[in-house]
Amino acid sequence: MSHTTPWRGFASDNYAGVHPAVFEAMNRVNQGHQVAYGEDDETATLLGLIRNEFGPRAEVFPVFNGTGANVVGLTAAMPRWGAIIATDTAHIHTDEGGAPERVSGLKLFTVAPVEGKLTPDGLRTQAFGRGDEHRPQPLAVSITQSTELGTVYTPDEIAELVDVAHSLDLVVHMDGARLFNAAASLEKSFHEFTSDLGVDLVSLGGTKNGGMAAEAIVVINPDTVDGLIYLRKLSMQLSSKMRFVSAQLVALLTDNLGVTIARHSNEMATLLRNKLEAEIQAGTITGLAFSQPTDANAVFALLDPEKSDKIREHVRFYDWDRARGEVRWMCSWDTTEDDIDRFVDTVKSVLSP
């Protein structure tokens, strides 16, 4: 029998296990028989919760992973000659193995972000060429909330982007792999920064927030997609025992559980940054700076790569941009204050003057 020794790291919120309440939800539905492929009670319950969160016309399509949600959703939003505008740090561009382009045949147009965010001016730089047969047709824009750099779009920023996008006949997709963290950061309900502002399509992530293979495509505006029910199967994202996926999302959407545990991971990231800033101010740590605002559950820092490697001998985390010494430290739903203190002590031992 194999046993894994528990340990904690700061590499990814995907490293954390399943939240006990989510595990219990799966156990609760693990009895008797239910109709397969989404015709089950939990998926029906999930649809009701999604409509409460995103609006009465919303539809939900549970899938296995975030890449599947992004690719299938965006594929349904445009023909094969369509193109998507996103930042050059977007997950669909940097971390999905080229799936939007290779699996769906869609083109990505990327622009440089400002603190991880797409701006209206950046959007406009790629939103041209409609009717030009030589250029892939820009038909959608994808933004990430919270962003790959740990920042969070304000409702005003989203509203402005949506207005510009819709004026250019672009469908607006939101990659919400960490949507619960954004909601906790903004202290807003989902609809206040999605459907109320005109967002058309959302990839709703549960895996990074205490779930296990728990993601969904939420179609807020059904007029913007076509054939999604067929594309999900074609793209190998249709779960036969869907009740186990849906039950997790139901748990996260019930009694504000998802936002509550996301708020904890955000608070742990803030605590980590505050403690490190205090050490810098006290002069007990040198050679450390922060490269991005800490809005959600990620801390981005700058330090000598050789020093990063020494810290990594004790605690696992990822380089973000090794050429400039940028690293990413992620907090999770199960990160504790003791974890933070041990990590700060480790950083101090390496970066002490």
Range of the domain at 280: 258-351
How far is Cα 142 from Cα 250, in angstroms, rounded to an integer? Answer: 25
Cis, bond preceding 146 (omega within 30 deg of 0):
yes
Q: Mean pLDDT over all residues of the chain?
A: 96
Co-location of 183 and 275 in the same domain: no
> Closest Cα to residue 187, out of 296, 294, 337?
296
Q: Is residue 295 part of a domain?
A: yes
Contact indicator for 180, 204 with CB cutoff of 8 Å = no
Q: How are beta strands 298-302 and 82-87 bridged, if at all?
A: unpaired
Task: Tell me how crowded residue 74 is: count the other CB atoms within 10 A of its CB.
Answer: 28
Co-location of 167 and 309 in the same domain: no
Number of domains forming the structure of the chain:
2
Residue range 117-172, pLDDT digits in tens: 999 999 999 999 999 999 999 999 999 999 999 999 999 999 999 999 999 999 99
Domain CATH code at residue 165: 3.40.640.10
CA distances from 329 to 148, 251, 324 (A): 12, 27, 16
Co-location of 31 and 109 in the same domain: yes
User: Mean per-residue pLDDT for 226-241?
Assistant: 96
The type of residue at 246 is S
Domain CATH code at residue 347: 3.90.1150.10
| Three-class SS state of 53 | helix
**Structure confidence at residue 1 (pLDDT):** 46
Q: Is residue 140 part of a domain?
A: yes
Co-location of 193 and 114 in the same domain: yes
Co-location of 229 and 119 in the same domain: yes
Cis, bond preceding 189 (omega within 30 deg of 0):
no
> Closest Cα to residue 83, out of 147, 159, 164, 173?
173
How far is Cα 181 from Cα 164, in angstroms, rounded to an integer? Answer: 26
Q: Is residue 7 part of a domain?
A: no
Residue range 185-211, pLDDT digits in tens: 999 999 999 999 999 999 999 999 999
DSSP 264: H
